Amino acid sequence: MRARLIFALGAAAVVAGCATSGEIERGAYEHQRRAAYYEARGDHYAAAREQAAADKQLAKAHRRAYDEAYNRAYWY
């Protein structure tokens, strides 16, 4: 009984900790919004940093979307 409870809590923690591709993509769009804000204010270094973070998160979102769609083991 105790082992099942521990397993269930562990599985719930793993599932809750995984962001979906859509959540990661929304974070990337937030970085792009900040990059545009900094660019408009003339802070090119901060804009480049935010755009690099957006590019990195978009790539991660695309990899995660592929895993969600084609890797059946992703959901188990």
Q: pLDDT tens digits, the chain, 76 residues: what are they?
A: 665 655 555 555 445 457 889 999 999 999 999 999 999 999 999 999 999 999 999 999 999 998 888 886 655 5
CA distance linking residue 75 with residue 59, whole number of Å: 20
Return the SS3 of 20. coil
Between the CA of residue 36 and those of 21, 24, 27, 29, 52, what are the distances in Å?
A: 23, 19, 14, 11, 12
| pLDDT reported for residue 38 | 97
Between the CA of residue 21 and those of 25, 27, 58, 59, what are the distances in Å?
A: 6, 10, 9, 10
Whole-prediction pTM value?
Answer: 0.69
Q: Where are the domains of the chain?
A: 20-70
